[in-house]
Chains A and B, each alone.
Chain A
Amino acid sequence: MAAAWAVLRKECRSEWRTRYGLNAALLFAVTSLTGVSLAVGRLGDRSDVLAGLLWIVLLFAALASLSQVFVREVEGQTMTLLRLVASPGSILAGKLLFNLAFLLVVELVTVPMFLVLMGAPPPRWGTFLGVLGLGSAGLAVTATLVGAVIAQTRGRAALFAGISLPLVLVVLGAAVSATRAQWGGGSAGNELRLLGAYTIAMLAAMMLLVDHLWED
């Protein structure tokens, strides 16, 4: 656990030095939000559409950067060194925590902007934050696992979105439908449970598979 914590601290520090991933994700989120907002205008009375747009903006902003944690190591040729000082489990845990924190920062900027720009009705905060939290967890777990695999391929960044998206679609579908339900006044319990179960199942798969991720 201490090693995972150290990996997280190292990730935060190296991200803070360049802020490359964060800048890219935020810029992507803000520009795509601007694009959406310009194209469709304010949609205060169409919360069904808003829910979909919100998650698409978040998803693509996130996917642009979530593989960076591993691609950076491979490109900087520091992966071997990292593996000498930390176990695969703690590397993966540290990177996962970093991706989660990264997503929260992106959401902290994107979500309020989205609500204001799109003229969204006030959300039911408890459910809304629950969906954002569980959705981010599902996204982070899946993207971290796929990122670790993708970093070792030829295509790397280009492949990442295409490979991780199908596994993320369950998260996206459930999160959109829960967000829609909280705006529409319905219950989002089933979707929240689905998100939670999927995240836990993926996390369990990740823990079982971690020893096979790096070998040579």
Chain B
Amino acid sequence: MIWRIGLGLWIAGGLVAAFLWAPLVPVLEETTRVLYFHIPTAWVTVVALGWSMVHSVLYLRRRRMEHDHQAAAAAEIGILFCVAATVSGSVWAKAMWGAYWNWDPRETTIFFLLLVYGAYLALRSAFDDEERRARLAAVYSAAAFVAVPFLMFVVPRLYFSLHPDPIVNPRGKLDMDPRIRLVFYAMLVGFTGLYFWMQSLRVRVARLQRRQHET
């Protein structure tokens, strides 16, 4: 309970600091603030999908339903955060590039990612047998994660993109204004905490549903 209140206060503090304390970056101006929401959601997407892959592999090794619950919950929440990252990026693109959607390499690949994990959920719904669903969904999830590094890291760097890493971060390493950096890291930590809280709730629901199903 304590840490949940702490998490709420932490994120609220980050929100206030993002709007009132952290300075703006030239060129990006007011849209700088999307940084504190957009990048953490994209980061949580990768964490969640990685979590899903790890538990898929663990399921294949140990055959415990617990891992299947973890993998499915992580994929669901990963998609949710992926949508949040896509929408926040899209709103920012409207402000900076003049259109919500341009098929910029970043937009393209995050959209592919949504499709890949949407397919994972569609696949899960197509089995009658629980054990078979867990096993084959784990196989698909592990194979699908092969696509993640290509989509998140390789393709966007291969093609010319208007995505502003070079403006916020001119020398290719984390070289931001210290106040921006502090708020950014605080939000990163806050969103990661939020993710793990959501994950534990979702897994508990799945566990209860299975217990109800068994009795």
Contacts and interface: CB of A to CB of B under 8 A. Distances in A.
Interface in A150-165: 150, 152-155, 159, 162-163, 165
Interface string B130-165: 011001101110111011001100110011000000
B13 interface: no
Contacts of B139: 149, 209, 212-213
Contact of B115 (A152, A165, A190): A165
Interface in A127-161: 145-146, 149-150, 152-155, 159
Interface string A153-181: 11100010011011101100100010000
B41 to A, nearest CB: 20
Contact of A205 (B135, B138, B146): B146
Nearest to B124: A153
B140 A154 contact: no
Contact of B122 (A163, A170, A198, A201): A163
Contacts of B155: 170, 173, 194
B60 interface: yes
Contacts of B150: 170, 194, 197-198, 201
Nearest to A204: B146
B112 interface: yes
B1 to A, nearest CB: 40
Nearest to A153: B126
A206 interface: yes
Contact of A163 (B123, B158, B159): B123
B169 interface: no
Interface of B: 60, 108, 112, 115-116, 118-119, 122-123, 126-128, 131-132, 135-136, 138-140, 142-144, 146-147, 150-151, 154-155, 158-159
Given A166-B112, A169-B112, A198-B146, 7 more contacts: A150-B123, A163-B123, A166-B116, A177-B159, A190-B158, A205-B146, A213-B136
